[in-house]
Amino acid sequence: MESGKIPDNKITATSELSAAKNGRLNYTSGSSWCARPSDANPYLQIDLQTLYIICAVSTQGNSQADHWVKNYTLQFSNDGTTWMVYREGGKIKAFQGNIDRASEVKHVLYESVEAYYLRILPIAYYGAVCMRTEVFGVERKPVNFALGKVTLQSSTYNNTQLDVSGVSEKAVDGNSDTEFRNGSCAHTQSSSSSWWRVDLGSDKVPVSDIFIINRFSTVPDVMARSKNYNITLGNNPVVVNNAQCRGLYSFVNFKASAVCFINPLITGRYVGISTVRKKALNLCEVEIYLRDNLAFGKQTDQSSVSCGGVSSRAVDGISNTDYSANSCTYTGREYNPWWRVDLGQVEPVSEIYLVNQENQGFYRQNNFEIRVGTVFNSRGIANPRCGDSQSYSLPRGKGVSFFCRPVLFGRYVTIRSLRTDREHFTLCEVEVYSERRACQMQAIGVASSDTLPNASFSASTERTNLEAFKGRLNAFRGWSPSRNDRPDDYLQIDLQYEFLICAVATQGRSTFDDWTTEYKLKLSLDGSTFVTYKEDNVDKTFSGNSGRHDIVKHNLRDVRARFIRFQPVKFVRNKALRVEVYGVLVSRVPSKAPSELILSAISSTSITASWQLPPAYSRHGIIAGFKLFYKKKRFIGSIHVKTINDGRTFLGVINGLDKYTEYEFQVLAFTSHGDGPKSSVVVERTMEDGEKLDCFWLDMNEGAVMYLTVYI
């Protein structure tokens, strides 16, 4: 909204005292959107233009007058006709709005919302129904870069009987019908090895995923055409001469993406698909998804330049690791050399991909930090550090991704050497990725030991040298259970926080012909109760790999979890897996308060409080501790806080209270990233002061006791 990406005509309202298009966050050139006073049921509607996973909403009042919305609800729709009300815990959620003109109030949506359209419906207001807003989220599906592009293939098969021609452009027509007779599949002849290519229009296109839909059939000969083909990427129109994405791919009667992995990652103009032997090639649809590199071609700088290694070489789209190829940077020999890219605007940076040189100086990149922020200074040290590690290193001649958890908002990305000696610093390529990417393109970082430690991995069993933590995508070897005869074998990953999971990818064992051909997924929020992933109310069995190195990626529907299990169903030789998970972080802090807050006075000056963890679905990470708030009932003044820095302690004792006085208590849970909401207020009174005296007397035959005097 604020950036103007959503056009004015896509912002509408039930009525307009001032224009709906003025309802953008931080709009100050006039009145914000205001509904007419006669509008009894006003709303502001936003057409997002594509399917989004909506994660949060922010609101402001009218910058020109004391008018704002105090409470509102949300509705969402996929067609602009049928609307659903946003709920949490099964109840319609009423959001707290604003209390003044200017302040921004942001609410995270803790229930999954996927929508093309969003409505904000004011309930209560001050002065007038006026609002400015922003919507936060990610696209559900990435843009298909191949759609309508120029294609070519080795030959064309024409079925005169069906009057259908399998011309190459049918694989990029946007029609994914898998029946050849319906006229939407490319089809080569079988007289020789076959190939198909798409021209992406320019060099240096950062291709990531190739989503392939083959012809579906139960005929063995037709099924064989979907097996064992190469995928290539490069600038040579003769696609068999371009670099090959690792592995051979076989998508037989299922739809999935091939992740093009070449280390280091490369760019190219032509994506090619070719058979490895004499046979026809059927492609009903091919979609190309990009890496969305924010750093490409941006302005750069570094501490100094030596031997012509200017800073711009790291964002030229060429990842050649040989310094003599003139595509790597090179600083002078100095203390703490640095390199920086200006992204042009503030971005939510989630991942930085760096490529090291293959030459003898590779060791110089063995101790550095990454900083991201809005402060422009040479060394970048005023900006926050990316990730939890104090320093990073790069392997020789390879590329590695580093993940910022939490995401860092910044315009400047700085890589700075932490070596204590005077030394050069070299980078052959830098790619920067944003949290704005489509959900299925955002790797959580299972493949990175800097992001998820080895302790986050576990398994039902494991073979020697094939432990659970080796089940990372592109890792050496992989995970394999100790035996093959147990159907409940699994590889489990603790993602540390709750994620909206949009996709998963798998590989086989890197050192032997062991791979999983089919698997199921189980998911959990608390690590104890696991639910099998279903589609259309049926347990989903995913098609896996056809070799050691092919990376097969499947999209998921609306799943939230902190723990994920990969459960092999079928396999070649031995069960084996290497995996990655893709998605967006739901929240870093609890969305619900601890439950069952119980108070008990234990003396005239002390009260004990106990509680239970928040519901599992609302924890969103590791509970680091609790905060216990207390004050005298009806007391207007500061609130006392006791912090318990232990997520496994559910008890707190408050001493030093006034005797026989009522106190109000609340409790919240917190993670390392912040506080969750407070619980409801519970009241308890301290005991009276002095010794306790028990009095007894005998029943009287007649009359009643009117009063009793006790002498001490």
CA distance 622 to 602: 31
* Arithmetic mean of pLDDT, 130-146: 93
User: Residue 120 carries which DSSP code?
Assistant: E
Q: Are 390 and 369 in contact (CB under 8 A)?
A: yes
pLDDT tens digits along 29-51: 999 999 999 999 999 999 999 99
Query: Residue 700 pLDDT more than 70?
Result: no
Q: Are 341 and 372 in contact (CB under 8 A)?
A: no
Q: What is the DSSP string of 268-305?
A: BSEEEEEEEEE---EESEEEEEE---SSTT-EEEES--
CA distance 474 to 506: 9
pTM, 2 dp: 0.83
Q: Exposure of 116 by Cβ count < 10 A (0-12 exposed, 13-18 middle, 19+ buried)?
A: middle
Q: Are 517 and 571 in contact (CB under 8 A)?
A: yes
- Phi, psi angles (nearest 5°) of residue 180: -60, -35
Q: Which band of pLDDT confidence, cut at 50, 70 and 90, is reported for residue 214?
A: very high
Query: Residue 704 pLDDT more than 80?
Result: no
- 683 sits in which H/E element: strand 682-685
Q: Look at residue 8 and give its three-state secondary structure.
A: helix
Identify which of 584, 312, 295 has the alpha carbon closest to the alpha carbon of residue 411. Answer: 295
Share of the chain above pLDDT 90, in %: 80
| Token code pair at residue 522 | 């189980």
Query: Residue 270 pLDDT more than 90?
Result: yes
Identify which of 361, 310, 306, 307 has the alpha carbon closest to the alpha carbon of residue 340. Answer: 310
User: Residue 382 carries which DSSP code?
Assistant: T
Q: Which band of pLDDT confidence, cut at 50, 70 and 90, is reported for residue 108?
A: confident
CA distance 574 to 462: 12
CA distance 660 to 654: 14
Question: So what's the pLDDT on residue 405?
Answer: 82
Q: Which band of pLDDT confidence, cut at 50, 70 and 90, is reported for residue 561?
A: very high
pLDDT tens digits along 449-461: 999 999 999 999 9
* Displacement of CA 275 from its chain's centroid (Å): 35
How long, in residues, is the chain?
Answer: 712
Q: Which band of pLDDT confidence, cut at 50, 70 and 90, is reported for residue 620?
A: confident
Helix then strand then coil, in percent of the chain rounded to 5, is 5, 40, 50
Task: Give first-to-last CA distance, the chain, whole Å.
Answer: 77
Phi-psi label, residue 223: left if phi above 0, alpha if psi -120 to 50, beta otherwise: alpha
* Arithmetic mean of pLDDT, 580-585: 93
Question: So what's the pLDDT on residue 691?
Answer: 61
Identify which of 401, 336, 416, 326 has the alpha carbon closest to the alpha carbon of residue 369. Answer: 416
Question: So what's the pLDDT on residue 703?
Answer: 62
Share of the chain above pLDDT 70, in %: 97
pLDDT tens digits along 423-475: 999 999 999 999 889 999 999 999 999 999 999 999 999 999 999 999 999 99
User: Residue 10 carries which DSSP code?
Assistant: G
**Cα torsion at 578, 583, 585, 591 (round to 10°)?**
-110
CA distance 333 to 373: 26
Q: Which band of pLDDT confidence, cut at 50, 70 and 90, is reported for residue 56?
A: confident
* Arithmetic mean of pLDDT, 104-120: 89
Question: So what's the pLDDT on residue 706?
Answer: 57
ω before 206 within 30° of 0 (cis)?
no
User: Residue 223 carries which DSSP code?
Assistant: H
CA distance 264 to 562: 30
Question: So what's the pLDDT on residue 107?
Answer: 86
Query: Residue 711 pLDDT more than 60?
Result: no
Q: Which band of pLDDT confidence, cut at 50, 70 and 90, is reported for residue 658?
A: very high
pLDDT tens digits along 303-362: 999 999 999 999 999 999 999 999 999 999 999 999 999 999 999 899 999 999 999 889
* Arithmetic mean of pLDDT, 625-647: 92
Q: Are 263 and 243 in contact (CB under 8 A)?
A: no
User: Residue 18 carries which DSSP code?
Assistant: B
| Token code pair at residue 133 | 């807003």
Q: Which band of pLDDT confidence, cut at 50, 70 and 90, is reported for residue 495?
A: very high
| Rg, the chain, Cα only | 31
Q: Which band of pLDDT confidence, cut at 50, 70 and 90, is reported for residue 615?
A: confident
Query: Residue 712 pLDDT more than 60?
Result: no
pLDDT tens digits along 1-28: 888 889 999 999 999 999 999 999 999 9
* Arithmetic mean of pLDDT, 478-497: 96
Q: Are 464 and 482 in contact (CB under 8 A)?
A: no
Identify which of 307, 288, 112 has the alpha carbon closest to the alpha carbon of residue 213. Answer: 288
* Arithmetic mean of pLDDT, 247-262: 94
